[in-house]
Amino acid sequence: MKALGRHILAEIYDCDPFVLNDRDLIEDILVKAALEAGAEVREVAFHKFSPQGVSGVVVISESHLTVHTWPELGYAAVDVFTCGDKVNPWDACNYIAEKFQAKHMTASEVKRGVFEKPVKVVNF
């Protein structure tokens, strides 16, 4: 069976709360994480919540990175979803955890788009 993509779901705890509340810094970290892993950035959308917290996404050619932060809990939910063999999603995930100054992280990898048999290709 062949999977189209690898998707890491990371729970990142005990981060620096000031980093987790800085929209511009988080955008910079996520974009650099994508680039560090060798991904190609296509679209970026980030949002700062009141009174605190940041949500954002980086759409890459290989799929996406997302982040949601709870500065008051020192917690961030991070996803790194990559397709193909060129990019290792763990490189991006570990980069983000390091820049968030996380004390610990639990993460799991899920295979996405698993096909048991060859599929018909539609021409456009």
For the question of residue 68 being annotated catalytic, the response is: yes
Q: Determine which one of 7, 15, 64, 83 is catalytic.
A: 83
Least distance from its own copies to the Cβ atom of residue 80, Å: 12
Going through the chain in order, the beta strands assigned E by DSSP cover 2-13, 41-48, 54-60, 63-70, 75-83, 104-115
CA of 119: how far to CAs of 16, 37, 62, 110, 111, in Å? 46, 30, 21, 21, 18
Residue closer to its own copies by CB (options 32, 41) is 41
Give the residues lining the site for its own copies (CB under 8 A): 4-5, 7, 9, 11, 17, 21, 42-47, 49, 51-52, 55-57, 59, 61, 63-64, 66, 68, 70-75, 77, 79, 81, 83, 110, 112-115, 119, 121-122, 124
Q: Which residues does 24 contact at the CB level (< 8 Å), separation at least 6? A: none
Least distance from its own copies to the Cβ atom of residue 29, Å: 17
Least distance from its own copies to the Cβ atom of residue 100, Å: 14
Q: Token match 């917290």: residue?
A: 53
CA of 107: how far to CAs of 22, 48, 58, 114, in Å? 23, 25, 19, 20
For the question of residue 63 being annotated catalytic, the response is: yes
Q: Determine which one of 7, 15, 63, 93 is catalytic.
A: 63
Which residues are catalytically annotated? 63, 68, 83
